[in-house]
Chain A
Amino acid sequence: MTDRSLSRRDLFRLGMVAGPAAFAVSCGWQGGPLVPKLQALSLFNDWVGEKILLREGRLAPVYPVSKRTPSNLFPSYALTNPRPEPPAGWALNVGGLVRKPTVLTLEMVQALPQITYTVKHHCVEGWSAIATWTGARLSAVINMVEPKPEAKYLRFDTFDHNYYNGWDLKSAMHPQTILAYSFNGGPLGPAHGGPLRVYAPIKLGYKLTKYLTALTFTSERPGGYWEDQGYPWLGGV
């Protein structure tokens, strides 16, 4: 029986391929020695996200206020529990590879041209929620401090335990990237990163660093609290 014996042999060959694949899928395997390779590949995805998909003029959709997620249903994550409180005399340090480092009080940020938008927040977990944010364009602050040519990245530091984060300058200069001080028309409270956080509808939630204390321009790519554990670095949406 030609066909049947061939099938048996072919089944064996099939097993040679399917066996390892099935093993890989089983038991919630992380990837073992492949994990670093996967993360290296993730850098390629970052490159595609930043160099190809991200465009200064390509704006994320905005929504009417009526589409907003009720404020109490808008999730808020922080490492510190209870919510971190800003240190006395809080101010934002802006420095690193810049010509004019500066320290900004909340009033100084609020004195910058203000923009308000209602946009969709995408969490890496898969949920989304819509809220209204008000703040100053991050690009205004960047232009104010005049980054040196070797500055390629922006590091955000916080008073929320050891949470920190790194951004590419292109995303930081995007017209919808703001230093936000207002959530849904009210002040930015401790739940959503007050007194000042970075916000943008072009990045995942874990990139939208809350409880800011410092912006530092660097030539080396900063990591990030979640990124160091394996999450995609760019986190662009």
Chain B
Amino acid sequence: MTDDAQPAPEKTPEPRPEPVAETPPAVAPAAAAPAVQPEARPAPAPVPEPASAPAVPVSPSPVRGGGEADARERGPGGEGPAKRPLVKRHHGIVRITHWLNAVLLLGMIGSGLQIYGAFPHFGPRGGPYLPNPWDGKQFPVSVRLGGWLAGGLNWHFALAWPFVVGGLAYLLYLVTSGEWRSLLFRPRDIPRAIQMQLYYLRLRREHPPQGKHNALQKGAYSFIIFLAIISVLTGFAIYKPAQLSWLTALFGGYEMTRYWHFWSVWIFIAFSIVHVLLVFLVDPASLRAMITGWYRGRFPSHD
């Protein structure tokens, strides 16, 4: 699944290779050109998607009605969908690890909820127990994986390795490719995030300028990477609380570490729900980008 092997499955005429969004000054037109380049190469090949007929200028997202939606649909560059360039958006490593994580997280949560049932409290034996809406409760069989405690443990420990290895591969890619620049939330993103939030609250009319991701996305993605690291570290800390006692102590001891590990699950679940909702509400084209790597949507620019 290399990137070069991916033909641009489009026969629509070549869009100008200039960036559509008014991007940060770092993106000169020349710099943006390689992103659009691949489309120029292949001859109009048989299109694998019969549905991708020559695009008619129709708005890609559900129309909410009203003139205000109009401005929203046009995207930051004010371009119609027909003129949107097809850009390479996600490297193969990003796509593989993304979907790997989707499956692994499902399995890790299912087996984790199975394990939880063996002692559904947080705190030392005899209490007092830490606040927990599920204290003393079992999760329904339908969301559990493993069937019993040993099964849940074996699933959990087996899935943990690919989760860690995939995560490290992803982080390594972020660092070596420089992709972290478009993802990492930094202090200068704070005012931009506020502007983005104002836009979402309809207190600002224009979509704020953005690179590959807007500032709120940067915040969300940086946070979820942080959460994944925390969940892995707390996981190892409660897996080996004696051998890794320094790590367990760092999180406040065995019982607290187990508590944080449990809460990371609910943050993951909340994130995933909002994440999927926003894909369909704001940028459905990003789903294709995360599968094939190619993106033809409202935010085609790169950092």
Residue positions of A touching B, CB distance < 8 A: 1-11, 13-14, 17-18, 21-22, 24-31, 35, 38-39, 41-42, 44-45, 49, 53-55, 58, 60-61, 69-70, 73-75, 120, 122-130, 201-202, 226, 229-232, 236-237
Contacts and interface: CB of A to CB of B under 8 A. Distances in A.
A18 B102 contact: yes
A125 B284 contact: no
Interface stretch (B19-27, B150-158, B188-196): B150-158
Interface string B33-61: 00000000000000001011101101011
Contacts of A44: 161
A236 B243 contact: yes
A52 to B, nearest CB: 9
B125 interface: yes
A1 to B, nearest CB: 5
Contacts of A2: 51-53, 55, 60, 81, 296
B106 A125 contact: no
Contacts of B52: 2, 5-6
B288 A128 contact: no
B124 interface: yes
Given A4-B284, A125-B119, A202-B242, A73 B103 contact: no
B151 A127 contact: no
A3 B284 contact: yes
Contact of B284 (A7, A53, A202): A7
Given A28-B142, A35-B151, A1 B285 contact: no
Nearest to A201: B242
Contacts of B142: 26-28
Interface of B: 49, 51-53, 55-56, 58, 60-61, 81, 99, 102-103, 106-107, 109-110, 114-116, 118-119, 121, 124-126, 141-151, 153-155, 157-158, 161, 239-245, 249, 254-255, 258, 280, 284-285, 287-288, 291, 296-297
Nearest to B241: A237
B14 to A, nearest CB: 16
A228 to B, nearest CB: 10
Q: List the 10 closest pairs (A to B, CB-CB), nearest first.
A: A5-B51, A30-B147, A73-B126, A126-B119, A60-B242, A3-B60, A230-B150, A125-B118, A25-B110, A129-B125
A127 B125 contact: yes
Contact of A5 (B49, B61, B81): B49
B139 to A, nearest CB: 10
24 contacts: A3-B284, A6-B51, A10-B291, A18-B103, A24-B145, A25-B106, A25-B109, A27-B142, A28-B146, A29-B145, A31-B146, A31-B154, A41-B161, A55-B243, A125-B118, A125-B149, A126-B118, A128-B124, A128-B125, A128-B241, A128-B255, A232-B153, A232-B157, A237-B242
B126 A129 contact: yes
Contacts of A39: 154
Nearest to A125: B118
Nearest to B50: A5
Contact of B285 (A6, A8, A49, A202): A6
Contacts of A49: 240, 243
B153 A231 contact: yes
A35 B142 CA distance: 19
B51 A124 contact: no
Contacts of A126: 115-116, 118-119, 258
Contacts of A41: 154, 157-158, 161
A4 B155 contact: no
Contacts of A45: 157
A45 B240 CA distance: 11
B61 to A, nearest CB: 8
A28 B147 contact: yes
A73 B154 contact: no
Contact of B241 (A11, A29, A120): A120
Nearest to B104: A21
Given A2-B55, A6-B288, A120-B241, A229 B103 contact: no
B126 A54 contact: no
A74 B116 CA distance: 20
Nearest to A42: B154
